[in-house]
Structure 1
Amino acid sequence: MIEYELRAWIRTAISRSVRNTEICFNSNVYLPQCLFTCKTLVDLTLICPADIPVSFDVYLPALKKLALGIVMYESAESFSRLLSSCPVLEELIMGSFVARSSRMCFYVCSPTLIRLTLYPSLKLVAHGFYRNRYRVKIDTPALRYLRAYEPISEDFSARALTSLMEADIVFVNEAPIERDAIHSRNILEFLGRLYNVKCLKLSTTPMKVPDSAFSALTIRFPNLTKLELAANWRVDWRFLSYILGNADNLEVLIIHKVTCWIEPPHQVPTCLLSHLRTVTISLFECAEHEFELISYILRNAKVLKRMDIHFELHGIDLKGKFDGIKRISLFERGSKTCELVFH
């Protein structure tokens, strides 16, 4: 389909009160202005190198879901105007941030947004591909579901997300090692905005949190009932003991790979004594720190119902697996009803 045919197709669809539209195009395309003033559109997907200029009149009064990929933004204002012109928007998916400025700030501001997915990869026009150059700010008081991949770039921040129920966050640090302190503080500040979350999945690339930044933590997670640390979790493992100590109502803990373990320095976390019921550990390789973590949980989790341990088959032989099962089976258990399941 050539470009003028695409524009004609769009105009025809709009004239027939289209509700759902998905436009995917590989080459640069000029989208007709009527697309951005359509009164009937409910679901719009744009995956094409089309330009969103500041001069466009935009008003999409019925739009509830918007997915953007490869779309080019003339300026931060063009993106902000697009969002502000969607008064009932409930879901936003953003990928491949494309801008004409290397310092552009994407301000995600919407009082109605419930679901937000970000997986940016910045392309600077005429300058090739760059990362760590854009900024993202979130102001979405009604947001309940957040999924963000590679959010920490030059700056990633949010106002208090008081309505948030679920978050799946991947922190990617591509900055030089000497900027680890800045990167880790960004993570800590952002985690502080998630204090009301009920289900939290975290992943990050390698980094070291400075003692000064970690000791200043004052975050509590009173509503957190499920915590999942993804397979490529590589952050300072003091985070796990910290979250356990500050999530009194945690019921479900999933760890896809234990790379380190540091026992909480003070009293046993409240969640282990009164709420933690299910623990799953994947990619278990019979390393000593893995045994230490399992022993600590089994010994202190007073209401634990089940612990599932999935062995990494490529990391150990059958004898190693058998010896590991035997050793764990002999660990002291704080819960007499806890079931151990090996996979």
Structure 2
Amino acid sequence: MAKQAKYEGLLDSLPDSILCHILSFLPTRDAVRTSVLSSRWRHLFISSISKLDFKDCFKESRITVDRIGSFKKFVERTLVISDSSFYLLIAGDTEIGYPRWLISGCLVLEVLVLFHCFINGASELNIHGLSLKRLVLDFQNLVCKNDFDWLFVIDAPSLVYFKYFCRVGRGYALRNMESLEKADITIFNFNDVDRERSEALLRGICNVRVLHLSIIDHDAPLLRTPLDPVLAFNKLVELQFKNHCGFRNVSVTWIVEFLEFLHRTPNLKTFILDLADADRVFESLPEQVPSCLLYHLKEISILSFKGYTHMFKLVSYFQNHALALEKIVLSINVLRECPSSIIEKLLSLPKKSKKCEFVIC
């Protein structure tokens, strides 16, 4: 005991800067535990870390609603009193929910990652962060849930990156997203009920410059026809779209429907389209050509090109209307013909842009 007291005395004699440096080598959970040693140590750990990592703190065997409530208060209090930039990662494998999660009033939180946590039944995620630059909401454990009814309220004027990996929630109020540069949106189990709600999500990120959009295991088209006239992506310069049908026998008309979406992207320069689930034949393509295709698109990438007739038809559609097109990149997958035959067919297609070239990979 005397030796322990001696060591404790030595530690207490060290300046705060040295103690913070020592704490910086500890896992978040162990660094936080030092806050109970004395009043001096209560907030010392806050100056020692720039990343609050709680990915191992929630296990099904010990989590309770009361513990989640205490944890919420701890995180919010820590962020408010901190004076340095924070990366906050919260993850868990529990399905015990909390009726409302609120992160607000924090001037130092720059990165927030919520992964597999606090999801069960109707609830609300409310995030107000003036300094927040990156936000990741990754709830892919909800793929098989039928009761997801969350409301997402996000006010983040400094946000430059947003990732949403989840089912469609009950509603979205996304405000002050003018600084947004890139968004990665992946939606699971899409159906007719989700369509109008998903447009609210898209409207909230309409200022984005780069959008990667994926729809997985769906029963309905992504967008209503006609589209909401308010839904326009005037700043968008790069768009990537993937439609993954899984084992469902879904019509390939999603290609035609998504080409209609290009009418909402007037300044698009790069378009990446994944045809992994486009084996079924479509009969026609839109008669009205999007203005971005006519005047602005410079590069089109087609992933999982399998050499079907309707896929050649799609390439021909692009080439017949794209006046500014400089490059078409084709990622060939599951060849039905030899590569030289496919290349020969592609080169024989008429094109409007004289400087357009094919890149095969």
Is TM more than 0.5 here?
Answer: yes
**Could you tell me which of 69, 79, 86 is aligned with 2:106?**
86
Q: For residue 241 of structure 2, what is the aligned residue in structure 1? A: 229
**In the alignment, does 2:155 pair up with 1:133?**
no
Give the 3 Å change call, closer, same or farther, for CA 141–325 of structure 1 in structure 2. Answer: same
Q: Distance in 1 between matches of 2:222 and 2:133?
A: 34
Deviation at 1:223, TM superposition (A): 0.7
AA at the equivalent of 2:87: K
Q: For residue 129 of structure 2, what is the aligned residue in structure 1? A: 110
Q: For residue 195 of structure 2, what is the aligned residue in structure 1? A: 184
Deviation at 1:16, TM superposition (A): 2.1
In percent, how many aligned pairs have the same letter? 20
AA at the equivalent of 2:89: A
**In the alignment, does 2:191 pair up with 1:171?**
no
Greater Cα offset, 57-66 or 140-149: 57-66
Give the 3 Å change call, closer, same or farther, for CA 36–148 of structure 1 in structure 2. Answer: farther
Deviation at 1:165, TM superposition (A): 1.0
**In the alignment, does 2:92 pair up with 1:70?**
yes
For the aligned residues, what is the CA RMSD?
Answer: 3.5
Instruction: Verify the 8 A CA contact 1:19 1:43 in the aligned structure 2.
Output: no
Give the 3 Å change call, closer, same or farther, for CA 63–232 of structure 1 in structure 2. Answer: same
AA at the equivalent of 1:66: L
Q: Distance in 1 between matches of 2:264 and 2:163?
A: 23
Unaligned runs of 5+ in 1: 1-10, 124-128, 175-179
Q: Distance in 1 between matches of 2:220 and 2:292?
A: 26
Give the 3 Å change call, closer, same or farther, for CA 76–31 of structure 1 in structure 2. Answer: farther
Q: Distance in 1 between matches of 2:287 and 2:24?
A: 57
Instruction: Verify the 8 A CA contact 2:211 2:238 in the aligned structure 1.
Output: yes
Q: Distance in 2 between matches of 1:71 and 1:283?
A: 34
**Could you tell me which of 150, 163, 187 is aligned with 1:147?**
163
**Does the residue aligned with 2:109 lie in a helix, a strand or coil?**
coil
Q: Distance in 2 between matches of 1:186 and 1:309?
A: 33
AA at the equivalent of 1:168: D
Q: Distance in 1 between matches of 2:25 and 2:301?
A: 40
**Could you tell me which of 282, 295, 303 is aligned with 2:303?**
282
Q: For residue 7 of structure 1, what is the aligned residue in structure 2? A: none
Q: Distance in 2 between matches of 1:44 and 1:252?
A: 37
**In the alignment, does 2:213 pair up with 1:198?**
no
Q: For residue 326 of structure 1, what is the aligned residue in structure 2? A: 344
Q: For residue 16 of structure 1, what is the aligned residue in structure 2? A: 19
Give the 3 Å change call, closer, same or farther, for CA 24–191 of structure 1 in structure 2. Answer: same
Give the 3 Å change call, closer, same or farther, for CA 114–16 of structure 1 in structure 2. Answer: same
Give the 3 Å change call, closer, same or farther, for CA 24–150 of structure 1 in structure 2. Answer: farther
Deviation at 1:22, TM superposition (A): 4.2
Deviation at 1:143, TM superposition (A): 1.2
Q: Distance in 1 between matches of 2:134 and 2:192?
A: 30
Q: Distance in 1 between matches of 2:121 and 2:236?
A: 37
AA at the equivalent of 2:19: R
AA at the equivalent of 2:221: V
**In the alignment, does 2:324 pair up with 1:316?**
no
Instruction: Verify the 8 A CA contact 1:33 1:56 in the aligned structure 2.
Output: no
**In the alignment, does 2:111 pair up with 1:95?**
no
Q: Distance in 1 between matches of 2:26 and 2:185?
A: 29
Write the deviation string for residues 141-180 of structure 1: whole angstroms up to 9, x where unpaired.
2211011111424445523522211001001126xxxxx2
AA at the equivalent of 1:297: F
**In the alignment, does 2:259 pair up with 1:241?**
yes
AA at the equivalent of 1:150: C
**Does the residue aligned with 1:280 lie in a helix, a strand or coil?**
strand
Q: Distance in 1 between matches of 2:293 and 2:260?
A: 13
Instruction: Verify the 8 A CA contact 1:59 1:86 in the aligned structure 2.
Output: no
Deviation at 1:328, TM superposition (A): 1.6
Instruction: Verify the 8 A CA contact 2:89 2:114 in the aligned structure 1.
Output: yes
Q: For residue 292 of structure 2, what is the aligned residue in structure 1? A: 271
Q: Distance in 1 between matches of 2:326 and 2:127?
A: 41
Instruction: Verify the 8 A CA contact 1:148 1:169 in the aligned structure 2.
Output: yes
Unaligned runs of 5+ in 2: 1-10
Q: Distance in 2 between matches of 1:161 and 1:20?
A: 36
Q: For residue 356 of structure 2, what is the aligned residue in structure 1? A: 338
